[in-house]
Chains A and B, each alone.
Chain A
Amino acid sequence: MSHAHTPGNGGAEHPAAPTVDEITDFEVLEIAVRELAIEHGLFTAEDHRRFTEWAESIGPAAGSRLVAKAWVDPAFKERVLKDAVKACKEIGIDWAEPTGFGTPSDYMNLRVLEDTPTLHHVIVCTLCSCYPRPLLGMSPEWYRTTNYRRRLVRWPRQVLAEFGLVLPPEVEIRVEDSNQKCRFMVLPVRPAGTENWTEEQLAEIVTRDCMIGVALPRPGRTADVHPMHRARRPVGSSRD
């Protein structure tokens, strides 16, 4: 890989990635594997296109909608806590997509973890990067790093503090290590100052980080701010 980036160097000062004509080793390998798989009839170009379309349609907005609806509708919240996969259908998310039996990697066991004023959940997958894609989209890169996976289970309060979240000792922090076939999402406590808000207004403050548990929703906080490492050829920039 020709782009010299040292992981873990802080990374806050990345220059914009240069426009590069050169094709990287992994780009080449990806094309070779995909083309050979299609040539050998292991899957079709149409399969690939259809799954890509689904992958590009998912994102954390669905999770935000689910949390907002649970905040305003106690009966819906009960349904979410009882059978989250089923409740997802009410906000337009079908975990059986895009194959009819779900994706191979996300399974169909979703559990929503409800925070209280004295209990805060935070999610990690120490073994890989298990994440509820149908509801939250693709996991952020930091969630996949060995750093987050090594440290969160053992030093959760330090890691949360690095995300800007400091909780008092009397609040129980419950780390959920998502290591098998359940997928997890945090249902945060509805913050003060949001009385009489509409579901749309509420959804805006339920960011992805709030649903992983590394941030808390609050009025005025509508985005997760992290340094951004730019792609050389981002999704959508080229189609071959």
Chain B
Amino acid sequence: MRESESRGTPPAAAGKARFKVGDRVRVKDLPNLFYSRTQMYVRGAVGTIAACTYQDLIPEDEAFNRDGRIEQYYIVRFRQKDLWPGYPFDNDTLQTESPERWLEPADD
């Protein structure tokens, strides 16, 4: 009955968000095993926090129907040039979401 309950009531707070809008972050390259929603193409790349969104379960746990670990999610903005070698347009960007555990501070 987890799904209906978790969607009906906000999950327990995960504590204070570690990052704020404007922070530079690097996406970790954690091992892949069975399930992840952190795309290969953003791993190791440095981007900027564009929004702090919500707190929820992390996909690796939820995909196996486990309750518990609630984390802060962020929208991270990358320059396309930082994602794809030889990307030809300086201005273009890409945004995607990430839970906190996949991000680390980047001092570049």
Contacts and interface: CB of A to CB of B under 8 A. Distances in A.
Is chain B a partner of chain A in the same complex? yes
B97 A175 contact: no
15 contacts: A99-B4, A99-B7, A102-B7, A109-B53, A111-B51, A111-B75, A153-B41, A154-B84, A172-B93, A175-B94, A176-B96, A177-B94, A179-B96, A181-B54, A182-B73
Contacts of B4: 99, 101
Contact of A173 (B8, B83, B89): B89
B65 interface: no
B44 interface: no
Interface in B47-96: 51, 53-54, 56, 59, 73, 75, 77, 80, 83-84, 87, 89, 91-96
A86 interface: no
B95 to A, nearest CB: 5
Nearest to B54: A109
Nearest to A180: B97
A173 B75 CA distance: 16
Contact of A179 (B39, B56, B89): B39
B70 to A, nearest CB: 12
A171 B51 CA distance: 22
Contacts, number: 80
A232 to B, nearest CB: 32
Contacts of B75: 111, 182
A173 B84 CA distance: 15
B107 interface: no
Interface string A97-116: 00111101001110100000
Interface residues of B, number: 29
B59 A126 contact: no
A181 B36 CA distance: 14
Contacts of A182: 53-54, 73, 75, 97
Interface of A: 99-102, 104, 107-109, 111, 126-127, 153-154, 156-157, 169-182
Contacts of B3: 104
B21 to A, nearest CB: 14
A111 B95 CA distance: 12
A180 B8 CA distance: 18
B69 to A, nearest CB: 15
Given A126-B39, A127-B37, A175 B54 contact: no
A156 B97 contact: no
Given A104-B3, A153-B41, A177-B94, 8 more contacts: A101-B7, A108-B7, A173-B93, A174-B93, A178-B96, A180-B59, A180-B73, A182-B75
B37 A179 contact: yes
A127 B94 contact: no
Contacts of B96: 176-179
B56 A181 contact: yes
A171 B89 CA distance: 10
A171 B54 CA distance: 30
